[in-house]
Amino acid sequence: MFVLRAAPLGALCVLLVVSAMGQPATAGTSSLPVPPPALQAAIRDLWGKNPQIQAAEANLRAAHERARAAAQPVYNPSLQLDGENADVDRRTAGASLTLDVFGKRKARATQGDAEVRAQEAAFVVERRDVAHDWLKAWSGVALTREQIALGQRRLELMRRFDTLAGQRLKVGDISSTERDLAGLALGEAQIQQASLDAQQAEALAALAALGGEVEGALPDLPQDLPPLAATIVPALAADRPELRQAQAEQERADAAVTVADRNRRPDPTISLTGGQVRSGPRTDRVVGVSVSMPIPLRNSGRYDVSAARADADAAYASRRATELRSNARIKQAQSTYAAMRAASEGFRQGRAGAFDERAALLDKLWQAGEISTSDYLIQLKQSLDTALSGIALESQTWQAWFDYLAAAGRLTEWVDGNSKEASP
């Protein structure tokens, strides 16, 4: 660390607060549930095909090669052959080598190793982010699929209602205005169903953009809700991929300062020359040794070192910012998920989702003449909107669960079906 760095103090605010939520767990063992095998297979297939992951893998290979290159000797030897025909004939051969006396090779190797660690963390982050994006897109597809099924039920009810309204108009049980309401309701249901089909196409396109399989049968959302947030222990800060990457970037920047400092120090070059010199009838053997060293007068390299130190300070600040964002993201994601899960659980325990029962009851009341056509449509629409909202709420709960796993550094672990122990 090359300048005085002070970490800011402050408190992070929780964005959503629910009374049922406890404090985030910081110690103990978390047991992650096992995702459906079809879901695991789909994500693993995605990891093998996604171009972003392929690019991250190529970057990692390049970092390994650069690290190998940095670990090689800094200087190569030079060979020199001289010959001269004059009053004195000279034939000499020489070799020279610049010596790395200030540890340039070691400094560059340290920098290369830090870059490898940064690229390894970047690869893990990319796999996590791609899986996270795919899971959220998949839950969107599952949502539209359930909404389309419910919308199809609505279409069937509206068609039947429209037919019955036409029959009742003929016998004078309802007015022509009420008959028109039935026709308008059917038209609106058809428009809404087309909108749901468009939403499904958009969700499938989001999956296809990630490179995963969309033609096969995608698994449905699990029937049970995800576990409580308090049962999942977030990974330690040092184990979170984005923080590991930021730490490695800081170490690489610190190593770059050492590299710049070593580069500004000139290394000596040792030369050895041997041969023979002939002057008339006399021939002499000659051996020479010389040492040369550049003099850093015009360019001392100090500005390169200053720039590297500034980069190191920026990398340190970036790591601190990443740590603060990561901690805040965990709290926000946990609060959001706890709120969504509590709402979904409450919705399941109530009668708000019993759409078919209410639809059948409303149909009986309307046919019995106990409610008007407008009342029937208003209540049916309210029941349908509530059922659709319940489906959307469960999908949002699963998306919030994926957000929390990603923020806690446990998403890839969940996909792999593994669990780890986390302790402070």
Domain spans in the chain, listed from the N-terminal domain onward = 32-70+102-264+301-422, 76-101+265-300
CA atoms within 13 A on the CB side of 332: 12
Percentage above 70 pLDDT, the chain: 88
CATH code 1.10.150 for 76-101+265-300: no
- Please indicate, yes or no, whether the overall pTM of this predicted structure exceeds 0.75: yes
Annotation: CATH topology of 32-70+102-264+301-422: Outer membrane efflux proteins (OEP) (1.20.1600)
How would residue 41 be classed by pLDDT, with cut points 50, 70 and 90?
confident
Lowest-pLDDT choice from 10-24, 61-75, 125-139, 307-321: 10-24
The pLDDT score that the predictor gives to residue 215 is 58
Structural tokens at position 340: 């969504």
Query: Cα angle vertex 368, ends 365, 373, to 5°?
Result: 65
Residue 2 has pLDDT above 90, yes or no: no
State whether the Cα torsion 399-404-407-412 is positive or negative: negative
The pLDDT score that the predictor gives to residue 421 is 37
Cα separation, 365 vs 361, in Å, equals 6
Q: What is the DSSP string of 160-213?
A: HHHHHHHHHHHTTSS-HHHHHHHHHHHHHHHHHHHHHHHHHHHHHHHHHHTT--
Q: Nearest to residue 130, comparing CAs of 237, 32, 207, 41?
A: 207
What would the pLDDT profile of 142-170 be if each residue is shown by its tens digit? 888 888 888 888 888 888 878 888 887 78
Most confident option among 1-10, 170-179, 224-233, 412-421: 224-233
Cα separation, 368 vs 371, in Å, equals 8
Residue 367 has pLDDT above 50, yes or no: yes
Q: Which long-range contacts (CB under 8 A, 24 or more apart) does 78-83 make?
A: 80/271, 80/273, 82/275
Cα separation, 292 vs 275, in Å, equals 21
What would the pLDDT profile of 66-83 be if each residue is shown by its tens digit? 999 999 999 999 999 988
Structural tokens at position 197: 């089909």
Residue 213 has pLDDT above 70, yes or no: no
Percentage above 90 pLDDT, the chain: 41
The alpha carbon of 323 is separated from its chain's Cα centroid by a whole number of angstroms, namely 16
